[in-house]
Amino acid sequence: RAEQATAQAEAPSLGRRLQPRPPPPEPSLAPELAAPQPPGRQAAMAGEAAAPEAWEIILFYKYADLSEGGAKDEVKAALEGAFAEAAKPLCGRILLAEEGVNGNLAAAAGPAMADLVAALLRLPHLGLRREDIKFAAAKDAEAPFPDLRIREVKSLIAGGAELDAIPIAETSQGYLKPKDWLAAAKEKNSVMIDVRNAREVAIGHFEGALDPKTRHFSEFTRWLDRDETRQQLEGKRVLMYCTGGVRCEKASALLRRRGVAASVEHLQGGIHRFQEALGDAEGFWKGKMFVFDRRGAMAPRDFQHGGEGEPSAGAKPDAIAGAPAAAAEAVGRCIGCGATHDVFTPDAVCVVCREPCLVCAACRARLKGEYHCEFHEHLKGCYFANLAAFDAAALAAQRADLAALIDAIHRGRHLRNRRRTLARQIARVD
């Protein structure tokens, strides 16, 4: 995980010898989707039944007040009942909070998925509608998620104190359907903001959108409050977008609070709905859409065409009307050589923060696991995973460089996690 994970661990004083700690385990492309499975969490896993001929995946969220009268517990019980009765295999993730629900589920295409959707529409307190559900297809037999789980959380999208505290009443505003959003994006006074994280933006984005260069949604507020950002947004018509819309609900509300922009709107249904309706909009969209499951990404031709702003009735690969047969243009770049590359692989993660990196096959063979993401490129010469490859003189040089970096950032609470990360690497070197 990224550096912020180190904030949850104790950092010994730099003045005494630090104890070495083993490198963290290899994560999947989306670590939050592949945590170890506690006992009792496997009751409805994909492995309980034979893999279907075709998986269908649904994405949905709904903000609703579940804070009173045991409403959240009732929704959880209803979900557990629906999953117990659903046809297997079934897998996915549900985040449940007092502010609503956010989910991704996968089941066999056809009647099994239709029955599951019907059960979701009957969930109490949420008012979930069919148009709130987005459909997609997986092209291979492997389960898109490792298991099925319901996770209770404080916020549907962890964004830090201020974003998490935004009430439901300030969400569900400023929606634009795909065609209207596209027209607005082409206006002279409009500014687009990609609310997703850097690794998502790297493989696909709308041309000309601002990229906040965040690793986590919790970093968005800090980017928004920079003087440079304020200057870019002042007096502008701001148009936000994300994968399915849930992050934009809070991000757009936060910007409205700042009072900097002339207006703040966001793409209803996110990139997913846009590409259902308009594909790549004649090149306005570049690349692929990052997804948080084993598919990794979706190209414009992978979406089910549902018309202007209309929900898809189901998912069929290569089904967009008029979509080209050729693969989407790759916009990602290998961190090693700069060649065009847009496929994340589980073995290619930053040695510092475990952030997924784009690394082509040739560079994976050449770099042998020593990858540094764009946020830690400056550590290429002194921060390595395999210390056994270096002699004593090289290790001493690395230690000196790491110590110098700590000295350069020895003050500032906001730099505490960076100091801890460097200190732990010194401990490994020692």
Query: pLDDT digits over 171-195, tens only?
Result: 999 999 999 999 999 999 999 999 9
| Mean pLDDT of the 102-109 span | 96
DSSP 327-352: PPPP--B-TTT--B-----TT-BBTT
| Mean pLDDT of the 261-268 span | 97
Question: Lowest mean pLDDT: which of 49-63, 78-92, 121-135, 294-308?
Answer: 294-308
Residue 348 clears pLDDT 60, i.e. is over it: yes
Residue 10 clears pLDDT 70, i.e. is over it: no
- The predicted pLDDT at position 304 comes to 72
- The predicted pLDDT at position 301 comes to 87
| Mean pLDDT of the 288-292 span | 95
Residue 13 clears pLDDT 80, i.e. is over it: no
- The predicted pLDDT at position 158 comes to 92
Residue with tokens 């200057």: 231
Give the percent of the chain with pLDDT over 90.
77
Residue 92 clears pLDDT 80, i.e. is over it: yes
Cα separation, 128 vs 4, in Å, equals 34
- Is residue 373 part of the annotated active site? The answer reads no
Cα separation, 179 vs 326, in Å, equals 24
If you average pLDDT over every residue of the chain, what do you get? 86
pLDDT band of residue 154 (cuts 50, 70, 90) is very high
Peptide bond into 89 cis (omega under 30): yes
Cα→Cα distances 217→3, 162, 326, 361, Å = 14, 12, 33, 30
Question: Lowest mean pLDDT: which of 67-71, 322-326, 400-404?
Answer: 322-326
Strand partners, 289: 298
pLDDT band of residue 26 (cuts 50, 70, 90) is very low
Residue 378 clears pLDDT 60, i.e. is over it: yes
Alpha helices, DSSP H, located in 262-321? 270-278
pTM of the predicted model as reported, rounded to 2 decimal places: 0.83
Residue 75 CB neighbour total at 10 angstroms: 22
Cα→Cα distances 360→205, 247, 348, 366, Å = 20, 30, 9, 10
Cα separation, 68 vs 229, in Å, equals 38
Burial class (CB in 10 A: 0-12, 13-18, 19+), 160: middle
Residue 393 clears pLDDT 60, i.e. is over it: yes
Tell me which H or E stretch contains 259.
Answer: none
Sheet architecture: strand order including 55-63? 133-138, 55-63, 100-108, 90-97, 148-152
Residue 325 clears pLDDT 80, i.e. is over it: no
| Mean pLDDT of the 93-112 span | 96
Strand boundaries in 195-272, DSSP class E:
204-206, 237-241, 263-267
Residue 205 clears pLDDT 50, i.e. is over it: yes
| Mean pLDDT of the 137-156 span | 92
300-316 confidence digits (pLDDT tens): 988 875 544 444 444 44
- The predicted pLDDT at position 305 comes to 57
Spatial neighbors of 66 by CB under 8 A, at least 6 apart, are: 72, 75, 96, 97, 98, 99, 100, 125
Sign of CA dihedral 110, 89, 55, 57: positive
**CB 176, CB 304: distance < 8 Å:** no
Select which of 242, 248, 357, 382 is catalytic. Answer: 242
- The predicted pLDDT at position 34 comes to 37
- Helix, coil or strand: residue 369: coil
Spatial neighbors of 103 by CB under 8 A, at least 6 apart, are: 58, 59, 60, 61, 92, 93, 94, 95
56-87 confidence digits (pLDDT tens): 999 999 999 999 999 999 999 999 999 999 99
- Of these ranges, 244-253, 290-299, 408-417, the one predicted with the greatest mean pLDDT is 244-253
- The predicted pLDDT at position 364 comes to 96
| Mean pLDDT of the 352-380 span | 96
